[in-house]
Amino acid sequence: MRTVRPSRVEIVEVGPRDGYQSIVPFIPTARKISFLRRLVGTGLRRVEIGSFVSERAIPQLRDTAEVLAACRDIEGIVPQVLTPNEKYGRAAVNAGSKFVAFVLSVSEAHNRNNVRRHPRESVEEYRRLIAALPDGVDVRLNLATSFDCPFDGRVAEDEVIALLDDLVPIRPDAEICLCDTTGRAAPDHVDRLFARAMDRFPEVSRWALHAHDTYGLGLANVYAAWNRGVPVFDASFAGLGGCPFAPGATGNVATEDLVWMFRRMGVETGIDLDALVPVACDGAEIPGGLPGGRVRHALSAARTT
């Protein structure tokens, strides 16, 4: 198997979904839209702007339809929305979404906790959603707990492959994102699992990694995946984030940290780091937010010395 390290990568900004969802004080819709404008102004294109889920489960994102509507006036944005089932996926499309990310967990315990279904039931939800999608809607498939589960610990690679055996044929052109929900994946694991998956499913044209930085391994895992040929990475501005269903799993990889790393490696992201750092600094000030990352501090310190 020949690995081609991508000379250009796509960073998907997931802060407005994964970063915001665990923040308790409601972020005013106008502020959300203002952040979207600023993020897209730095060169970011695809942004996960929210999710279509139960308002009760994630009240912070109850204005996703409104935010999505506002995206029509933000030039260049490719708004992606997250959904865990057919019903909310249909709602997303009806609200005008052209990029739907469907999420299920590899681990049964996590999937049951998250959406009260066995992963195989979620596969059927995905099948029904795909059948219902009109033409022109792009699909991303998020496999939560691809490496580790907050309830059951390390997830076997075989389990991920077996689930993909069912999922990939349903929509082979879907982008597939392996998610390190707990941040406990190590880079050799990331390397090995992507190598296996990419080898087994050559029909999948785009692979992605959603890394968390809870244990400091976010960038190491992104590097390992890039080194294996993965070209798409999720990140959250200011490192905002955490998973409300994974105790202790705070800390998305910070978008500015990723942009820094790729810039140092000579890999194109299309994002202007100097423009991004001030947005990240403001993002870190969102009341109730849990920011992370290092580059924001390092570059701010460099400016003041």
Closest to a copy of itself by CB, 171 vs 189, is 189
Minimum CB distance to a copy of itself, residue 17 (Å): 22
Interface with a copy of itself, residue 265, by CB under 8 A: yes
> Which DSSP category does 85 fall into?
S
Q: Select the residue interacting with a copy of itself from 261, 271, 273, 279 (CB under 8 A).
A: 261
Q: Which residue's CB is nearer to a copy of itself, number 119 or number 150?
A: 150
Can you tell me which of 69, 74, 78, 298 binds a copy of itself, judged by CB under 8 A? 298
Q: What is the DSSP letter of 173?
A: T
Count of CB atoms situated within 10 Å of the CB of 4: 8
Catalytic position from the list 149, 177, 179, 243: 243
Per-residue contact track with a copy of itself, 268 to 297, x per CB under 8 A?
-------------------------xxx--
Token pair for 273: 């780091």
Site string for a copy of itself, 200-239 (x = CB under 8 A): -------------xxxxxxxx-xxx--x------------
Q: Which two tokens stand for residue 64?
A: 């996703």
In the annotation, is 243 catalytic? yes
15 binds a copy of itself (CB under 8 A): no
Element (H, E) at 210: strand 207-210
In the complex with a copy of itself, which residue's Cβ is closer, 24 or 302? 302
Quote the distance between the C-alpha of residue 218 and its chain's center. Answer: 13
Distance (Å, rounded) from C-alpha 218 to C-alpha 33?
27
Burial of 174 (0-12, 13-18, 19+ CB in 10 A): buried
Instruction: Say whether 140 sits in a helix, a strand or coil.
Output: strand
- Tell me the Ramachandran region of residue 153: left when phi exceeds 0, alpha when psi lies from -120 to 50, beta otherwise: left
Token duo for residue 48: 């996960």
Dist CA 22 CA 15 (whole Å): 11
Q: Which residues contact 179 (CB under 8 A, 6 or more apart)?
A: 103, 142, 143, 144, 145, 146, 209, 210, 234
CB of 251 to a copy of itself, least distance (A): 7
Alpha carbons 245 and 146: distance in angstroms, whole number: 15
* Shortest separation between residue 164's beta carbon and a copy of itself, angstroms: 23
In the set 165, 188, 268, 272, which binds a copy of itself (CB under 8 A)?
Answer: 188
Task: Provide the minimum distance between the beta carbon of 264 and a copy of itself in the complex, in angstroms, as a whole number.
Answer: 4
What gap in Å lies between CA 272 and CA 284, rounded to an integer? 18
Shortest CB 237 distance to a copy of itself, Å: 14
Count of residues in contact with a copy of itself, rule CB under 8 A: 38
- Least Å distance, CB 220 to a copy of itself, is 4
In angstroms, the CA 52 to CA 40 distance is 22
Nearer to a copy of itself, 194 or 223 (CB): 223
Residues in region 241-260 near a copy of itself by CB under 8 A: 247-248, 250-251, 254, 257, 260
Catalytic residue ranges: 243
Q: Which residues lie near a copy of itself (CB under 8 A)?
A: 5, 183-189, 213-220, 222-224, 227, 247-248, 250-251, 254, 257, 260-261, 264-266, 293-295, 298, 301-302, 305
